[in-house]
Chains A and B, each alone.
Chain A
Amino acid sequence: MHEVGIVQSALDIAESQARAAGATKIHEIRLRIGQMTGIVPEALEHAMTVLRGGTLAENAELTVEYVPAVCWCVSCEKEFAPKGLFGECPDCRVPSADIRRGMELEIVSLEVD
């Protein structure tokens, strides 16, 4: 959904961190993104190609670790892996409001020199 805004923010953070560490080039930016954020990988890649020009990350790769979602079902009293964004329990069909994992949106590390 906000792929352009997210990549822009990630690039801003990466550049300022790289500069603060005296780096002249960013080779890789590693992100962690949860399934429930609804981020579309292709849109992220595309945004990166468009936005990295003219930055320290001009030739950098975006490596993304996608985190599968885990929801809690109140009626079955167990965790389950939801399909898609709705978070419906596969056994009892009740939608879960308790997302325990899958909302991550984080810049993990950079590879620089």
Chain B
Amino acid sequence: MCLECGCGLPGPTRIDGKPADEVSSPLVEGVEAPNHSHTHSHDGYTHSHDHLHDHEHDHPHDHGHDHSHTHRQIDVHQAIFTANDRLAERNRGFFRGMEVFVVNVVSSPGSGKTMLLTKTIEALGEDMHVGVIVGDLETDNDARRLRTTGAPVVQISTGTLCHLDAEMVARAVGGMDLKALDILVIENVGNLVCPSGFDLGEDLRVALLSVTEGEDKPLKYPPLFRFADAVVVSKMDLAVACEFDRDAALDNIRRVNPRADVFEVSAKTGEGMDAWRDYLNRMRTRRGSLTSRP
């Protein structure tokens, strides 16, 4: 079930048609949660210690009524991460180890993710090896479109779920040769709300806003744009026909996310594609020296 909106009926997510839990992945099998204990040796003898992160203060207090009991306070001071956050961090570490740059593409359905990706793979050229994971509720239509580029593509069919999560991605890369890839692009399920709440372990999150959607979309659905590193304004070839108010749109994006890099692109005509491609190359190179997502 989606923790954001409650959608999703019981039923397996499928990866290239197979139930996800039957797809083997080095990222899922045999990885135990660390127990924070370790063994090391000094000067020839070995010992181990557990890191139990609690310190207790006993302070009994009387409640002034006829029964008194002992409450204790345990200081915890621990950041709360959801289960998905933890899996996403594991994915991120794994991807770093494989030296693959990972991009998570989010937007509403029909804003042109598949078309943009197809043209982006072509623009990146043969020297840049790109793989794609594409999420949809049903069909492998997008996977088939993306395969025309020659790139390896894995389709995740979520059934009734509205977003991809870190575990699905961990499963989906099981059958991919990540070492042979420079860039892994994850095309998320078309949805403006829930995908923004699920870190997949990506290095770069890109939100699309097509000119046909209206310039106030970032204000109506802030999280999707707020948590993106870059925003691509897509279908610029239709801007005039749609009476797209460019200044208002850019202003709204900036209001919600002043830090985002913004690109105005038409995958169809090629307008803005060079700048977008150069940005991806630049971010990939820069990632090489970074250790964590901000």
Contact = CB atoms under 8 A, between A and B. Distances in A.
B165 to A, nearest CB: 10
Contacts of A17: 53-54, 74, 76
B106 to A, nearest CB: 15
A89 B67 CA distance: 53
Interface string B240-270: 0000000000000011101100000000000
A76 interface: no
Contacts, number: 87
B75 A109 contact: yes
B80 A21 contact: no
B214 interface: no
A96 interface: yes
Interface in B177-206: 197
A38 interface: yes
A17 B75 CA distance: 9
Given A9-B81, A9-B83, A86-B222, A113 B76 contact: no
B80 A10 contact: yes
Contact of B255 (A5, A21, A95): A95
B69 interface: yes
A1 to B, nearest CB: 5
B272 interface: no
B74 A107 contact: no
A2 B4 contact: yes
A6 B73 contact: no
B226 A110 contact: no
Contacts of B223: 1, 38
A83 B254 CA distance: 17
A87 to B, nearest CB: 8
Given A86-B256, A97-B259, A1 B73 contact: no
Q: Please classify the interface of chain A as helix (H, G, I), strand (E, B), loop, or mixed, using the class held by over half of its residues.
A: mixed
Given A2-B82, A88-B255, A108 B69 contact: no
A23 B70 CA distance: 11
A37 to B, nearest CB: 10
Interface in A50-99: 85-86, 88, 94-97
Given A5-B82, A9-B80, A10-B80, A18 B255 contact: no
Interface of B: 3-4, 52-54, 56, 69-84, 197, 222-223, 226, 254-256, 258-259
Interface of A: 1-2, 4-6, 8-10, 13-14, 17-18, 20-21, 23, 27, 31, 38, 85-86, 88, 94-97, 105-113
Q: Please list the 8 inter-chain residue pairs (A to B) with the smallest Cβ-Cβ separation, ordered nearest first.
A: A5-B82, A97-B258, A110-B74, A95-B258, A4-B3, A97-B259, A5-B3, A107-B76
22 contacts: A1-B4, A5-B3, A5-B83, A5-B84, A6-B82, A9-B82, A13-B76, A17-B53, A21-B74, A94-B258, A96-B258, A97-B258, A106-B78, A106-B80, A107-B78, A108-B75, A108-B76, A109-B75, A110-B73, A112-B71, A112-B72, A113-B72
